[in-house]
């Protein structure tokens, strides 16, 4: 997609609008997905909503940390190298 926008007139502007709209569409989906997990954990009497939400955010941050570090500090680490496509 960035290559297609790069070749268009005012492609930078359309790229920003497109990817901004994409992010705006994903945020409510993420919130509703987390809400299901939070409600389930609260029904199991794990903890209150604030603690469960904080815990899920921390677990999500830990899960994303290797992906972020693979762009800078771990350039030779391939997280999904064990998956063979064909």
| pLDDT confidence of residue 24 | 95
Q: CB of 54 within 8 A of CB of 34?
A: no
Q: What is the pLDDT of residues 32-41, one digit of tens each?
A: 988 999 999 8
Nearest-10 Cα torsion for 39, 44, 47, 53: -30
In this prediction, residues 51-57 reach a mean pLDDT of 90
pLDDT computed for residue 83 by the predictor: 67
Contact 68, 79 (CB under 8 A): no
Q: Taking residues 10-18, what's their average pLDDT?
A: 87
* Chain-centre distance for alpha carbon 13: 23
Res 58: pLDDT: 94
- Rounded to the nearest integer, the mean pLDDT of the chain is 84
Q: Are 79 and 67 in contact (CB under 8 A)?
A: yes
């Amino acid at each position: 997609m960035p290559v297609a926008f790069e070749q268009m007139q005012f492609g930078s502007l359309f790229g920003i609008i497109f990817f901004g709209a994409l992010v705006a569409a994903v945020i409510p989906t993420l919130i509703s997905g987390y809400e299901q997990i939070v409600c389930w954990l609260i029904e199991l009497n794990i903890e209150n909503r604030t603690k469960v939400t904080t815990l899920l955010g921390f677990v999500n941050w830990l899960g994303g940390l290797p992906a972020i570090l693979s762009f800078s500090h771990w350039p030779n680490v391939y997280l999904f190298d064990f998956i063979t496509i064909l």
